[in-house]
A and B are shown apart, each in its own frame.
Chain A
Amino acid sequence: MCLPMQSDPMQPVPVRVLTRRREVADTWTLELEPGDAAGRPFAPGQFNMLYVFGVGEIPISLSGDSADPHRQVHTVRAVGPVSRALAALSPAATVGLRGPFGQGWPVEAAAGADVVLIAGGLGLAPLRPALYYILSRRARYGRVALLYGTRSPGDILFRRELERWRRRLDLEAWVTVDYAGSDWVGCVGVVTNLVPSASFDPADTVAFVCGPEVMMRFAVAALQKAGVDDAAIHLSMERNMKCAIGHCGHCQFGPLFVCKDGPVLSFERIRGLLSRKEI
């Protein structure tokens, strides 16, 4: 049956790699064409499925600015066969793209409130579009704080941008590392230790959290301790994904399909699931 290309949500669109930049030792940022003259609009927190010819297809968050739907920016950590092949692509190479998929950060609903963004490691990548969104509409939000934790000073992602953000007077940007040499003057310790230092009104705060699952559990505990409501805490979940459209079953998390109900989910919805092992 010869269905028109777009009618099969499992069929990727070939797009070219425009630029490739090394971020840290194992992580690269690729800018891709949208594969559509009109651009490929996305919301902060959404992801695309990226296919490397003959190797496989994986979910990768959009890490660029949603104001520019003509550039699909992805930050990829090379951890296995597909991500390694993806990160190794040079400009002009073609990848298959499907997306965008999923529910992103509730950036609109957060307007008027203080916003705390907590990122662990590569978790900064899916949060960056939310920060771009908020900063470009800065007056509509209360206080904004970014708390970012990573392994070592050499693992700091988007370093130049972080330095710029730290210089802003309308944004509190904290960076902490797990371990560092004597040349590091910043914080050392886990990112959740920064929560009490950040200034926000817990009764009127929306928190966006992305990082390894353990780190997110600790972040939730720290936010709860500070007085932030469960419904105001949003996490981006990671699960195995083969389809991204709710058909393959792989991403199930209790009653939720992380691909279509998430990846961003309010803690209120997943409270009973996140606390259990092997759900």
Chain B
Amino acid sequence: MNTTSDLALITPDGVRRLIEVLTARGYRVIGPTVRNGAIGYDAIDGIDDFPVGWTDEQDGGYYRLRRRDDAAFFGYAVGPHSWKRYLHPPQLRLWRAERSGDDMRIIDEDDEPPRDAFIGVRACELNAIAIQDKVFLGGPYVDPHYRSRREGIFVVAVNCAVAGGTCFCASMGTGPRVGSGFDLALTEIVHDGAHRFLVECGTDVGAQVLTELPHRPAPPSDIEAARAIIERTAQSMGREMPATDVPALLRRNLEHSRWDNVAERCLTCGNCTMVCPTCFCTSVEDETDLSGATAARTRRWDSCFTMDFSYIHGGSVRSSTRARYRQWMTHKLSTWVDQFGTSGCVGCGRCISWCPVGIDITEEVRAIHEGECDGDDS
């Protein structure tokens, strides 16, 4: 965290004001809100839309909302949504084509996207955004759709005050304290006095926005309280990734018997890939209207768990469940490092909570680690 002078204190009313200020500045404000029994990220109008006084209980294949005994705004971990919904939409019309006779025209379809302000971005999620930046902006080709959404965002990060039952960011080095990539970062304090938020500015725009909010310098006792909150979260992670060189472990265990074991449980539903904040795979669909004069291409999230994903003439390259689960997990934790210089997992735990059969990526790594001599072919 920055020096004391950079830290301010705001009240819940200050957060209410923050949403107003961002809206007045032309942002579409997206934040956490209760939807269908879970906390998702959606457009919000004010603090009443927050999951005030709610928390979540999470475990393998398990997610439930539960009441807290206070009125905390951010007293839960992450839900099934991630910010990739907005930066890399689940479905996007890329272009339209028109045909007349032998001629064809291609017309750009992506409208100017709204400028989004994200409120409640967690440390793991900031890391996930940084990872997708590498995928879509860091290579020889840039995805203009991602870029136009990404460029304008305003990020209000939140330091986690509770760890979820499936969280393991501490062992991935991606949380729970937010590092960089935010305009403002909040730490919510609900005990020992009034409900309040410690605010840290990450950018000049963030500092300007702060000047428009009622705020005061943070007293040293609150700075210490915030530090202790984050420390406690780090100590209460529900899961932990084994402390070993995981990329190398998986590289030398591509034929481990654990892949057969997990294949007996995995339903190849692809939920894990849909909820993962870093999974970026897509497919394209081409269609024509009834008259045959216009055609369009739509890009959709895709999953390496489908048979079509690896289809080449003659059959799928990865037809067994074993091969598809292995592809997913080795990509997340091993080959991603070769491709992008970082792990593809930020330890958010979503894939564990939302797997219908509760398959746990940390547990699978542990099993391979502990049974290394079994089926090892290095």
Give A contacts to B, CB under 8 Å: 1-3, 5, 7-14, 16, 51, 53-57, 79-80, 92-96, 238-240, 242-243, 245-250, 252, 254-255, 257, 260, 276-279
In contact, A1 and B143 (Cβ under 8 angstroms): no
Closest B residue by C-beta to A55: B286
Known contacts A248-B282, A248-B283, A252-B331; is-contact A3 B144 (Cβ 8 Å): yes
Where chain B touches its partner, the secondary structure class is mixed
Contacts of A11 in B (CB 8 A): 94-95, 106, 108
14 pairs of residues in contact across A and B, judged by CB atoms under 8 Å: A8-B94, A8-B144, A12-B106, A16-B102, A55-B286, A93-B102, A96-B104, A242-B283, A243-B282, A254-B335, A255-B334, A277-B323, A279-B254, A279-B317
Cβ of B102 to closest chain A Cβ, rounded Å: 5
Pick from B282, B286, B299: contact of A56, CB below 8 A. Answer: B286
Known contacts A250-B283, A255-B338; is-contact A53 B288 (Cβ 8 Å): yes
In contact, B327 and A252 (Cβ under 8 angstroms): yes
Cβ of B216 to closest chain A Cβ, rounded Å: 41
Known contacts A246-B141, A247-B136, A249-B304; is-contact A54 B110 (Cβ 8 Å): no
Closest B residue by C-beta to A56: B286
How many residues of B are in contact with the other chain, CB < 8 A?
Answer: 56
Cβ of B109 to closest chain A Cβ, rounded Å: 10
Pick from A7, A14, A240, A248: contact of B106, CB below 8 A. Answer: A14
Asked if B243 is at the interface (CB within 8 A of a chain A CB), the reply is no
A200 to B47, CA, bound (A): 76
Cβ of B282 to closest chain A Cβ, rounded Å: 5
Closest A residue by C-beta to B303: A249
Closest A residue by C-beta to B284: A242
In contact, B295 and A53 (Cβ under 8 angstroms): yes
A9 to B142, CA, bound (A): 8
Closest A residue by C-beta to B98: A53
Asked if B37 is at the interface (CB within 8 A of a chain A CB), the reply is no
A13 to B141, CA, bound (A): 17
In contact, A257 and B339 (Cβ under 8 angstroms): yes
A14 to B97, CA, bound (A): 10
Q: A10-B297, A279-B323 are in contact. List 6 more A-B contacts (CB 8 A).
A: A1-B148, A240-B317, A245-B140, A247-B143, A247-B280, A248-B281
In contact, A255 and B335 (Cβ under 8 angstroms): yes
Closest B residue by C-beta to A247: B143
A248 to B279, CA, bound (A): 10
Cβ of A196 to closest chain B Cβ, rounded Å: 29
Contacts of B318 in A (CB 8 A): 278-279
Cβ of B254 to closest chain A Cβ, rounded Å: 6
Q: Which segment, of B27-35, B116-124, B225-233, B306-314, faces chain A?
A: B306-314
Closest B residue by C-beta to A58: B313
Using an 8 Å CB-CB cutoff, how does the interface string of B92-117 with A read, 1 for contact, 0 for none? Answer: 00110101001111101011110000
In contact, A249 and B144 (Cβ under 8 angstroms): no
Contacts of A54 in B (CB 8 A): 97, 286-288, 292, 295
In contact, A278 and B319 (Cβ under 8 angstroms): yes
Contacts of B106 in A (CB 8 A): 5, 11-14, 96
Pick from B141, B304, B327, B339: contact of A245, CB below 8 A. Answer: B141
Residue of A53, A94, A276 with most partner-chain B CB within 10 A: A53
Closest A residue by C-beta to B138: A246
Contacts of B220 in A (CB 8 A): none
Known contacts A1-B144, A250-B310; is-contact A92 B102 (Cβ 8 Å): yes
In contact, B310 and A53 (Cβ under 8 angstroms): no
Cβ of B356 to closest chain A Cβ, rounded Å: 23
In contact, A249 and B280 (Cβ under 8 angstroms): yes
A55 to B135, CA, bound (A): 28
Closest B residue by C-beta to A101: B141
A240 to B304, CA, bound (A): 12
Known contacts A94-B104, A242-B283; is-contact A1 B113 (Cβ 8 Å): yes
Closest B residue by C-beta to A252: B331
Cβ of A72 to closest chain B Cβ, rounded Å: 16
Asked if B42 is at the interface (CB within 8 A of a chain A CB), the reply is no
Pick from B99, B282, B283: contact of A53, CB below 8 A. Answer: B99
In contact, B311 and A240 (Cβ under 8 angstroms): yes
Asked if B302 is at the interface (CB within 8 A of a chain A CB), the reply is yes
Closest A residue by C-beta to B279: A249
A257 to B280, CA, bound (A): 14
Contacts of A53 in B (CB 8 A): 97, 99, 104, 288, 295
Asked if B193 is at the interface (CB within 8 A of a chain A CB), the reply is no
Contacts of A238 in B (CB 8 A): 312
In contact, A248 and B108 (Cβ under 8 angstroms): no
In the complex, which residues 330-357 of chain B have their Cβ closer than 8 Å to any Cβ of chain A? 331, 334-335, 338-339
Contacts of B302 in A (CB 8 A): 242, 248-250
In contact, B141 and A9 (Cβ under 8 angstroms): yes
Pick from A10, A94, A96, A257: contact of B103, CB below 8 A. Answer: A94
Cβ of A261 to closest chain B Cβ, rounded Å: 9
Closest A residue by C-beta to B320: A278
A69 to B93, CA, bound (A): 32
Contacts of A239 in B (CB 8 A): 310, 312, 317
